[in-house]
Amino acid sequence: MAMSGTTAGPGASRPERHDPTGPPLVKFHAPEVVFGPDSLGEAGYAAGRLGARRPFVVTDPGIVEAGWVDQLLPLLRAEGLSPVVWTDVTPNPKDHEIHRAFDRYRESECDVIVAIGGGSCIDAAKGVAVLSGNGGDIRSYAGIDQATAPIPPMLMIPSTSGTGADVSQFCIATDTERHVKLTIMGRALVPDVSITDPRLLTTMPEALNAATGLDALTHGIESYVSLAHNPLADAHAITAVGLVCRHLRSTMDHPDAIEGRCEMAQASLQAGLAFTNAILGATHAMSHQVGGLLDAPHGVVNGVLLPHVIRFNARATPERFVGLARSAGLDVDRVPGEEAADMLADHVRSLADAVGVPTGLREFGVTEEDLDTLATTTLEDACLTTNPRPAEHADIKELFREAL
């Protein structure tokens, strides 16, 4: 079984060393990136370079129906590889799905793990990788750097424009007993190779295009104001915000136009590079809980929560929101930070309206009675640790109430 030489290591969470008289030392984690139309054609060669002989392909029925698996498999076989395909993945991948996939991976004596699909497929594939190297129950790896043994090499091929899972050190899995989403985080979870072919985005359903685009926007905004932000991540975050705000609507109106898909694919990639290095904040910590409780679409929940969290965080780092608002296309010259944040929050809500996102969490089934539980589980989410403004149970509960 091929194994990556990289373990989770301390880089995911340990504060960087720095000279107090100079700028901080920055570690920037990224996979090898292959980007552009027709880049799917590189998949067989890339898998072979990773040592594959019997790659384990994780996908879902929608990607199969769209024809992308039928394009991928001959590319793998042309390199002399014998792929095994696993398609039993649903949105917000469940713990038991990951365990079943791992059983098939082990029984088939597979090596390199290949995912083709959206964030759920990629997260499920990462879960298989964690279990392959470390064993046990996927739920036991929630948190930071809990998986310490080497894992198999990973090749990720995203089919959506927003999750960033193909370049990130995150794996999100649903604990079906507690009805919460678990954040598994570690340097080892950064894939070895990411192949982004914008052609794959043209087969996304309209609702998924909206959801993943808003996810990318949330990644850019949250990573830019994160306590762990740094100049390298900032450049990717600010660019991603501008790309989403300029191009998401056009991809909804002209889904087959490859130019817009290329821009949104780049937005997803750069937002992913930003958040895997700067981490995220309260929007994601809260959204994970709604998704875990109600199996709600992650990006859409982000679109509902993000304007409220922007206004909450602006009291801590108002100046950071000026650059974000400007990147979004807003005229914020000589505008105070908190006012710029209000303008950005309104702009995000306007974009969410334009792409058909609900105005409140009640439309997903969230009730007033759920808020205490949601706030409690949010406090356990690793994403909250880098939110720029400290948030206690009462703060989180009030943000949920505002978003109802």
Tell me how far apart the alpha carbons of residues 279 and 307 are, in angstroms, rounded to a whole number: 19
Ranges of residues in the chain whose predicted pLDDT is under 50: 1, 4-19
225 plus 185 within the same structural domain: no
Task: Supply the range of the domain harboring residue 120.
Answer: 32-199
**pLDDT at residue 6, as a whole number:** 43
Say if residue 266 is in the same domain as residue 372: yes
Same domain, 242 and 302: yes
CB atoms within 10 A of CB 50: 22
| pLDDT the model gives residue 27 | 85
Residue that is last in its domain, among 165, 183, 199 = 199
Per the CB < 8 A criterion, the answer to whether 203 and 256 are in contact is: no
Lookup result for tokens 């709604």: 290
Query: Angle 42-198-112 (CA atoms, 0-180°, nearest 5)?
Result: 40
The one-letter code for the residue type at 51 is G
In degrees rounded to 5, what are phi and psi of residue 159? Answer: -115, 5
Cβ(1)–Cβ(109) under 8 Å?
yes
Q: Are 355 and 213 in contact (CB under 8 A)?
A: yes
Counted domains in the chain = 2
Does residue 149 sit in the same domain as residue 276?
no
Same domain, 254 and 388: yes
Q: Are residues 89 and 215 in the same domain?
A: no
Look up the CATH number of the domain holding residue 291.
1.20.1090.10
Residues 384, 250, single domain; the answer is yes
Domain match, 214 and 307 both: yes
Tokens 């720029």 found at:
388
pTM of the model: 0.92
Paired tokens of 78: 């042309």
Question: Are 175 and 139 found together in one domain?
Answer: yes
- What would the two tokens of residue 401 be? 């109430």
* Predicted local distance difference test score (pLDDT) of residue 22: 60
- 255's CB contacts (< 8 A; 6+ apart) are 202, 204, 206, 209
Q: What is the tally of helices (H) and strands (E) in the chain?
A: 14, 9
Q: What is the pLDDT of residue 15?
A: 42
**Distance between CA 313 and CA 225 in Å, rounded?**
8
